């Protein structure tokens, strides 16, 4: 009876130790950032978490040894049963003793309950006053693909705050959107600085491979979009983001990446509360079919933004809006808005203002229930 009763506290100690280790890692990372920026930071919470994790580790070891010894005692009692009773059965071979250095089965179970390894992200820059990190996350085909995560300046100000997410899609093959448009984070930070948006964590996955124009593939086959369960799990485990869902996650695409954002928003309104596309060129028929095939009952929310002087871009946006409004299923229910008021004296300024408009739209849309 002792062995089953000890398994429960053993598992509790293992889970508690794992949580404390992860919390200590996050606290250590915050301390490292604070030291980098010469900010004051208290080390006591980190030491308490490390100490608690060590105590849990010792408890797990002691309980595992006790469970193992209890199991051996039970086997000894069974072997001491009367010979007359065992003679009626065919003799069973005794259990093989554990090899030297190998953990017992009872001790191995708690270690098997440890959560999956967290993807390690390393800092690669500090654009727009935030911090840009990079890691490798397995893609749908099992191969690692690059994922970059931009943390806004507000991320380090409150270690307990959790942030909504924008998934930023790239338009070129085997690249990330910030490599195509290095100033994209300036537009996101500008919207927050002007009070038009709350701070977002921006997730920038590497685009799908196999074609020179991945967004054309995604428009026709939205399951090829670079965002998937593995990516969302890795980001949620490594950063203080809000859970994936239409209330806190949006998607954004700029220029060649715009059709990817539209396809993701149309195909997954249950995941993305809104999608914004900037200066894109679209395949109305393919995207209308993507919207018609969308599962669930939620209606997509889309912003198609282009500069006032971008005649071709605005024409493509209006054609997509018309195709969706006259489409079938969920496509006809999509709330599609067009922004055509931005103008400025340089292409870089125009793009910054368009990104600012897109981020403001995402912030306002995610704040409202579907």
Residue 298: pLDDT band with limits 50, 70, 90: confident
Per-position b or e across 121-145, b if 16+ CB within 10 A of its CB:
beeeeebbebbbbbbebebeeeeeb
Q: Calculate what percentage of the chain has a pLDDT beyond 90.
A: 46
Residue 341 confidence (pLDDT): 93
- pLDDT value at position 51? 76
Q: What is the pTM of this model?
A: 0.67
Q: What is the pLDDT of residue 230?
A: 85
Mean pLDDT of the region 71-84: 46
The rounded percent of the chain whose pLDDT value lies above 70 is 73
355 confidence band (pLDDT: 50, 70, 90): very high
State residue 95's pLDDT score.
Answer: 42
Could you give phi then psi for residue 131, rounded to 5 degrees? Answer: -130, 130
**What pLDDT does residue 76 have?**
46
- Per-residue pLDDT at 78 exceeds 50: no
Best mean pLDDT range from 34-38, 137-141, 174-178, 191-195: 191-195
**pLDDT tens for each residue of 306-340:** 999 999 999 999 999 999 999 998 899 999 999 99
Alpha carbon distance 237, 232 (integer Å) = 9
The mean pLDDT of 277-285, rounded to a whole number, is 95
CA-based nearest residue to 185, from 158, 215, 211, 152: 152
> For 101-110, what is each residue's pLDDT tens digit?
333 333 333 3
Mean pLDDT of the chain: 79
H or E element in which residue 131 lies: strand 131-138
User: Above 90 in pLDDT, residue 305?
Assistant: yes
Highest mean pLDDT among 87-96, 213-222, 224-233: 224-233
CB 128 within 8 A of CB 186: yes
The vertex-314 CA angle with 313 and 318, nearest 5°, equals 120
Q: Closest Cα partner for 223 from 304, 144, 294?
A: 294
Question: How would residue 357 be classed by pLDDT, with cut points 50, 70 and 90?
Answer: very high
The helix-helix angle for 105-112 and 2-36 (nearest 10°) equals: 40
| Helix, strand, or coil (residue 345) | coil
Q: How far apart are CA 220 and CA 82, in angstroms?
A: 74
Closest CA to 358 of 191, 201, 212, 225: 191
Is 122 a residue whose pLDDT tops 90? yes
Under 8 Å between Cβ of 285 and 251 = no
CB 147, CB 227: distance < 8 Å: no
* Highest-scoring range by mean pLDDT, 22-31, 103-112, 360-369: 360-369
Query: Do 263 and 302 form a contact (C-beta atoms < 8 A)?
Result: no
Is residue 283 within 8 Å of 238, Cβ to Cβ? Answer: no
State whether residue 334 is helix, strand or coil.
coil
Buried b (16+ CB within 10 A) or exposed e, 69-81: ebeeeeeeeeeee
Predicted confidence at residue 149, as pLDDT, reads: 97
Predicted local confidence at residue 117, as pLDDT = 43
Tens digits of residue pLDDT in 130-152: 999 999 988 777 788 899 999 99
Give the pLDDT band (50/70/90) at residue 350.
very high
On the question of pLDDT at 224 being above 70, the answer is: no
- Whether residue 248 contacts residue 270, with contact meaning beta carbons closer than 8 Å, is answered with no
Write out the two tokens for 185. Answer: 């984070």
Report CA-CA distances (Å) from 109 to 60, 61, 117, 304.
Answer: 11, 12, 17, 52
Q: Report the C-alpha gap between 248 and 120 in whole angstroms.
A: 24
Give me the helix-helix angle, 284-292 and 258-267, nearest 10°: 20
Average pLDDT value for residue range 124-128: 95
Look at residue 29 in the predicted model and tell me its pLDDT: 64
């Amino acid at each position: 009876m002792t062995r089953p009763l000890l398994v429960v506290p053993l598992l509790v100690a293992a889970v508690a130790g794992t949580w404390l280790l992860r919390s200590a890692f996050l606290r250590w990372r915050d301390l490292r950032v604070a030291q980098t920026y010469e900010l004051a930071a208290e080390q006591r919470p980190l030491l308490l978490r490390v100490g608690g994790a060590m105590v849990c580790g010792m408890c797990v070891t002691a309980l595992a040894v006790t469970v193992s010894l209890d199991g051996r005692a039970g086997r000894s009692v069974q072997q001491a049963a009367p010979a007359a009773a065992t003679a009626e059965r065919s003799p069973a071979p005794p259990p093989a003793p554990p090899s030297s250095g190998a953990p017992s089965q009872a001790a191995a179970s708690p270690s098997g309950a440890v959560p999956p390894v967290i993807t390690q992200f390393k800092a690669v820059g500090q654009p727009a006053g935030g911090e840009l990190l990079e890691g490798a996350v397995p893609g749908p085909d099992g191969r690692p693909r690059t994922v970059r995560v931009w943390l806004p300046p507000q991320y380090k100000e409150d270690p307990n705050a959790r942030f909504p997410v924008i998934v930023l899609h790239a338009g070129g093959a085997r690249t990330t959107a910030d490599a195509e448009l290095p100033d994209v984070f300036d537009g996101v930070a500008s919207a927050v600085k002007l009070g038009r948006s709350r701070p977002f964590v921006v997730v920038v996955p590497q685009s799908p491979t196999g074609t020179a124009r991945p967004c054309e593939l995604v428009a026709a086959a939205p399951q090829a979009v670079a965002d998937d369960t593995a990516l969302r799990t890795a980001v949620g485990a490594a950063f203080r983001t809000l859970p994936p869902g239409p209330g806190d996650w949006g998607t954004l695409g700029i220029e060649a990446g715009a059709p990817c954002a539209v396809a993701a928003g149309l195909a997954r309104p249950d995941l993305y509360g809104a999608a914004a596309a900037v200066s894109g060129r679209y395949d109305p028929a393919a995207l209308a079919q993507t919207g018609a095939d969308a599962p669930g009952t939620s209606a997509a929310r889309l912003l198609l933004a282009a500069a006032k002087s971008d005649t071709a871009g605005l024409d493509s946006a209006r054609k997509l809006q018309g195709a969706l409004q006259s489409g079938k299923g969920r496509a006809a229910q999509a709330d599609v808005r067009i922004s055509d008021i931005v103008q400025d004296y340089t292409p870089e300024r125009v793009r910054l203002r368009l990104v600012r408009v897109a981020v403001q739209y995402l912030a306002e849309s995610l704040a409202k229930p579907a």
